[in-house]
Structure 1
Amino acid sequence: MTVVDAFDWGLLEPAGAAAQGTGDDTVLTAMVETEAALVAAWDDLDGVASSVSFDSGALDRGRLVARARTDGVPIVALVEQLREQAGTHADRVHRGATSQDIVDTALMLVSRDALAAARGRLTAAAGELAARAREARSTPLQARTLTQPAEPTTFGALLAGWLDVVISAGQALDAVRYPVQLGGAVGTGAAVLRSGRSLDVLDALRASLAGRLALDNPGRAWHTDRAPALAVAGAAAQVAAAGGRIGRDLALAARDGYLRPATGGASSAMPHKKNPVDAVLLTANGLRAPGLLATLHTAALSYDARPAGEWHAEWQAWRGLLRLASENAVVLAHAVPDATIVASDVPRPESMDAAALAAAEHAVDAVLARHERTATL
């Protein structure tokens, strides 16, 4: 069986190319990598060299999709195919694990790599914002609160505010840990004990699996403690929110004419327009993220050793947040240097006293100092 039509190839996801590292192929590769690392971890403990290796490209994806519908998870069919590839060593595949161990671990692998790439993009955007905030540190600007003219500030202070949220998003990513998952059928590792091994072997197996995958070893199964998943999701949502917050300002500044994109988008009906597409995408993704995050928080109200539906509800929401974070990090890294200041249209206050200027400059300096501290971490 072959997969005839991909569900989503970017037609309604304009920045989707930035999130290719979160697609089905990447997740499948991570699942296979997890199963291979588990076999190797058992080999280490048993003192054998089974030399089992898997070929992700040889997997029948249509079979995986069909059985995912039948079984509710893709792992059953995946394990069957991997055991076929393992031949005489088939019994070493998926040993002591359950579907949730493989799915959770695979999503952690995908999360680690996707958010590491996003972190690099945020770093680039932060560097550009710092340079521009420093340059515009003393340029007067009419601030607004609740859409109305407020006290005077500086253009540098506006840019420093953007830099501040990017720094915070980067710090959120830096704080995330990506633990391996391994607990077996109901999270207790009983299958290891039934195999004639002590439960200390489960701890050693988990540690070996974590080491092979370069994930954290939590020293436990977290099947129904979804805190690790929530931490990843929360950090990804913060990246989306940071981009969305800046996108709002970019759109309003483009509307008012003083900060325009050098590479705007076209209109199907109005050829004179140059739409601030980066601002639109950043804002849209920022708006999409809270619903996905709410799904994970709702699903965290788990029950039993594995709930019926709650864990399953996480999968696409989790991956969706990785996608939005990846997209917004890439779009933001483009949007910041692409924004062109139109000096004649910058809304300037009628007057700006020394106190307002000094306060704005101090605010800029504080954020720049924060950037310098975090840039060395």
Structure 2
Amino acid sequence: MRTVFSDETYLETATRVEVALAQAQARVGIIPRGAADAIAAACDPHGLDRERLRREADNVGYPILPLVAQLAEQCGDAGGYLHWGATTQDIMDTTTMLQCARGLSLISTALDELRDRLRRLAATHVDTVAVGRTHLQHAVPITFGYRVAVWLSALDRHARRLADVQRRDLMVQLGGAAGTLASLGPGPEALRVRAELAAQLGLRDPEITWHVARDGLTEIVGLLAAVGATIAKIGTDIALMCSSEFAEVAEPYTTGRGASSTMPQKRNPISSELIIAAARLLRDKSSAMLDAAVQDFERATGPWHMEWVVIPEAFLLLSSSLAQAVHAVSGLEVDTARMRSNVHLTGGLVLAEAVMMALAPRLGRQRAHSLVYEVCAQAAESGTPLVDELLKNPDIVADLGEQRIRRLGDPTAYLGSAQTMTHAVITHVPEAASTPGSAR
């Protein structure tokens, strides 16, 4: 990802756009074919004087005019047709879109790998009973596979969103000074040039110039932030399950990883911590892009420039987050015995809802809730298992019977549709996030 957004790649890509523009214009008949061929043959981003480019770009405020000046010198007389009818933002936006296309391809590939690892993990633990927690308190029994499948389901939806974004938002930019393409004439040739350029670069040809309509890039970065937040939910769950009190999972062990400089016993969930930090930074990137989308008239006075920093950083943050998530999930150590032990940590209180629902048909839900609430309070105060406390209540015994009460104390009997839903997620054939395309 650093290569995609490096200075070298930027100059290579901007040069590619300039050459493609000349080729498109030659095909439409805007500039001579010979000039376009000479431009294609001569333009060499590796032959640029980088120090001169740095100095002139610093002075101009944009890199394109100094870049075009050097490329034109490389082309000789044909250089007079370089950058014909275009404006700086046309080249910069199209270059950014090509970088985003490559970046999204890398993100999609990594996301597909993470989803595959989660699918395997969920399949392995479809029947692994664990405690469900709400507000960090024991709620009802679930399976660990169900928890993982919930993670996976969100990422499957993100994969579809990524595919949609790649189809919808990766657009070519060509509008000239104020977006009207007047520099290429009043006829249909101008729009034909844009269509040719889009086809050559593998980008979508938009209906109208989007110099100051930044919804596409805003959506891309917003989606990166949303994917990062979903991964951070996974990281948060893993980090909590790694805590000494839960001890249900551990991140993959490698000598020295997550170690403390002072406490030799520590094995910190470092991948999860990095994922959580990345998500918080990504949120700020999405917010910045919303600010950058508020632009004045036909060319922005400042907001556009924010994108130059925000977009590369957003891609780098999510790329890092995905790499850490793949690492954490691939070798995740799952302690199924500890999960089962934790289910019984409260002496069966985790099954209070099961008892309440068993009593509700005769007593009504509210009365059943109040009765079981009182029994739970007594069990918690005395440290007595819930089943034993229930058996002390003659009304409950008369209603349910001793055998049913004991069956209600079995966590495997109160999993609802957890396993069925988990199977539905892991057997679903989802759309791949990575979709091939010429821009990528």
Offset of 1:358 from its aligned partner? 3.1
In the aligned structure 1, how far is the partner of 2:2 from the partner of 2:315?
8
Deviations 1:35-76 (A, max 9, x none): 111111122222513321321222233333333332221112
Residue number in structure 2 paired with 1:147? 136
What 5-or-longer segments of structure 1 have no aligned partner? 1-17
Q: 1:213 to 1:261 in 2, by over 3 A?
A: same
In 1: Cα distance, 2:156 partner to 2:5 partner: 24
The TM-score normalised by the length of structure 1 is 0.88
**Greater displacement, 303-312 / 348-357:** 348-357
How far apart are 1:33 and its partner, in Å?
A: 1.3
Larger Rg: 2
Match of 2:238 in 1: 250
Q: Is the 8 A contact 1:156 1:364 kept in 2?
A: yes
Is 1:365 paired with 2:434?
Answer: no
**1:261 maps to 2:251:** yes
Give the whole-Å Cα distance in 1 for the aligned partners of 2:3 and 2:242. Answer: 29
Q: For 1:144, what is the secondary structure of its paired residue?
A: strand
Alignment match of 1:238 (pick from 226, 230, 236): 226
Deviates more, 1:293-302 or 1:341-350: 341-350
Q: Quote the residue 2:384 is aligned against.
A: none
C-alpha change, 1:148 and 1:60, in structure 2 (3 Å) is farther
State how 1:1-377 maps to structure 2 within 5 Å: 19-46=2-29, 48-50=33-35, 51=37, 52-53=39-40, 54-176=43-165, 177=168, 178-193=170-185, 198-255=186-243, 256-262=246-252, 263=254, 264-346=257-339, 348-350=342-344, 351=348, 352-353=410-411, 356-370=414-428, 372-374=429-431
In 1, the alpha carbon distance for the partners of 2:306 and 2:148 equals 38
Is the Cα–Cα contact under 8 Å of residues 245 and 286 in structure 1 kept in the other structure? Answer: no
Return the offset for 1:199: 3.4
Aligned partners of 1:241, 1:23: CA distance in 2, in Å?
26
* Post-superposition offset of 1:292: 0.8
CA contact (8 A) 2:160 2:432 kept: no
Q: Is the 8 A contact 2:128 2:336 kept in 1?
A: no
Structure 1 residues 239-294: Cα deviation after superposition (integer angstroms, max 9, x where no partner): 22222221111211222322112233333333432332221221111111111111
Matched residues in 1 for 2:81 and 2:258: separation?
A: 54
For 2:331 and 2:3, locate their aligned partners in 1 and report how far apart those are by CA, in whole Å. 23
Q: 2:64 touches 2:88 (CA, 8 Å); kept in 1? A: yes
Structure 1 residues 287 and 171: alpha-carbon distance in aligned structure 2, compared to 1, 3 A threshold: same
Output the CA distance in 1 between the equivalents of 2:195 and 2:267: 54
CA distance in 2, matches of 1:208, 1:59: 27
Residue 173 of structure 1: how far off its partner (Å) = 0.8
What secondary structure, in the 3-state scheme, does the structure 2 residue paired with 1:374 have?
A: coil
Determine the C-alpha separation between the residues in 2 that align with 1:332 and 1:362.
Answer: 26
- The 2-side partners of 1:159 and 1:243 are apart by 12
- Structure 2: distance between partners of 1:84 and 1:339: 57
Higher mean displacement: 350-359 or 85-94: 350-359
Specify whether residues 240 and 65 from structure 1 end up closer, same or farther in structure 2 by C-alpha distance, changes over 3 A only: farther
Comparing 77-86 with 345-354, which one deviates more in the overlay?
Answer: 345-354
- Whole-Å separation in 1 of the counterparts to 2:328 and 2:132: 22
Aligned amino acid, residue 290 of structure 1:
R
Once residues 275 and 20 of structure 1 are traced to their aligned partners in structure 2, the CA distance between those partners, rounded to angstroms, is: 30
Question: Which residue type is aligned with residue 64 of structure 1?
Answer: L
Question: Are the equivalent residues in 1 in contact too, given 2:289–2:310 (CA < 8 A)?
Answer: yes
Q: What per-residue deviation string (whole Å, max 9, x for no partner) do you get for residues 89-133 of structure 1? A: 111211111111111111110111111111111111111111111
The residue aligned with 1:4 is none
Amino acid of the structure 1 residue aligned with 2:25: W
Do 1:19 and 1:326's aligned partners in 2 also have CA atoms closer than 8 Å? no
SS in 1 for 2:415: helix
CA distance in 2, matches of 1:327, 1:66: 32
The answer as to whether partners of 1:296 and 1:317 remain within 8 angstroms in 2 is: yes
Q: CA deviation at 1:353?
A: 4.2
Q: Give the number of equivalent residue pairs.
A: 355
- After superposing on structure 2, the runs of 4+ consecutive aligned residues of structure 1 that deviate more than 6 Å are none
- Name the CA distance, whole Å, in 1 between partners of 2:177 and 2:232: 41
Alpha-carbon shift at residue 373 of structure 1 (Å): 3.7
- Residues 85 and 176 of structure 2 are in contact (CA less than 8 Å); yes or no, is this contact kept in structure 1? yes
- 8 Å CA contact 2:159, 2:432 repeated in 1: no
Structure 1 distance, partners of 2:267, 2:46, is 43
Structure 1 vs Structure 2: percent identity of aligned residues? 32
